[in-house]
Amino acid sequence: MTNGKWDEQDNAHATTYENESRNQRTVTIPLREYDKLQEQKNYITSKTLIDIIDNVERLVRALRKHIIRHDLEENFIPKKDK
């Protein structure tokens, strides 16, 4: 014996997922506006993200001051023949 109330709720719950794929809405915009939006996708516009990138850049510059490349120095210092 099945419970009709629960069957109806299960059926209603399942149909909500089915309707999600059917109820897709579309918006029509001019092609120029679409192209402008596509172009903006290539740039970082978030102020927070830009601040983070700037801070990383400052950190990298500070760290570069402390780099000593021994292998490069050996290549540029002329060796004396014995």
Four-residue CA torsion sign, 34, 39, 42, 48: negative
Mean pLDDT of 39-51: 93
Q: Per-residue confidence at 38, pLDDT binned at 50, 70, 90? A: very high
Give the model's pLDDT for residue 49. Answer: 96
Q: Which of 26, 29, 48 is nearest to 37 (CA)?
A: 29
d(CA 25, CA 3): 36
Query: For tokens 């990298």, what's the residue?
Result: 60
Q: 22 with 31: CB under 8 angstroms? A: no
Average pLDDT over residues 28-39: 92
